[in-house]
Amino acid sequence: MPRFKLIIEYDGAPYVGWQRQANGFSVQEAVEAALLAISGEPAAARGAGRTDAGVHAKGQAAHVDLAKDWRPDRLRDALNAHLKPEPVAILSAERVSDSFDARFSAIRRHYLYRIINRRAPLTIERGRAWLVKRRLDADAMAQAAAGLLGRHDFSTFRASECQADSPVRTLDRLDVKRIGDEIEIRASARSFLHRQVRSMVGSLEYVGSGKWSAFELVAALEARDRSRCGVVAPPDGLYLMQVDYADE
């Protein structure tokens, strides 16, 4: 059966996450419903990352096996026609080899977390960023973030229900940058633990607000203890931006 790689954008607010779950409607189900509508038979969409409820994506990757060898642009357009009015869009479709796996072939995942740092409430950005009213020191956050780079046991920043076999991960990038009232935090790694990015962002907020020093952030990491984590940042500000593969 022909295998296709899909790049998907979605507003995660209405969904229980990417993956099919018993407690509500998922992005995966929305895509699979569209696949059923165009092919007349069930097809599984297997994603590169299991984003949580409320988390958004600008570059989620998935693969799907279909009986028909679609022209990629027609597959994209047909799926988008059947996805309406869901806030989900297929940005591109590409024919790939049978050995391609959206999850296991990935070599790096890139996330963006957006903090709006101002007193006024959110309007246009409501549900798409974390509003923090107290002034944050983005420079201090950036300096502290460097202490989390590299290969570590990230148990402190791992959700209690995380199912990963090991808490050890290699964090390649954790940049913090202020642009006006917005603070962008960009994280890159081959893979992340469940809620790792949101946990790191929440702890960096502690640094930015003066609750923690950079030393205390590193001490929390080294404790390997979930109870030492700062607040977990809400899902609203998190975006899966891109997934890299070796052949790209």
Give catalytic residues, as residue numbers.
52
12, 24 contact by CB (below 8 A): no
Q: Is 40 exposed, middle or buried (0-12, 13-18, 19+ CB in 10 A)?
A: exposed
Distance CA 145, CA 204 (A): 7
Helix (H) or strand (E) holding 88: strand 88-96
Q: How many CA atoms lie within 13 A of 126 on its CB side?
A: 5
Q: What's the farthest any 2 CA atoms get from each other in the chain?
A: 58
Q: What angle do CA 130, 136, 141 make, to 5 degrees?
A: 95
DSSP code for 43: -
**Count of beta carbons in the 10 Å neighbourhood of residue 69:** 10
Phi, psi of 123 (to 5 degrees): -120, -80
Q: What is the dihedral of CA 35, 36, 38, 39, to 10 degrees?
A: 100
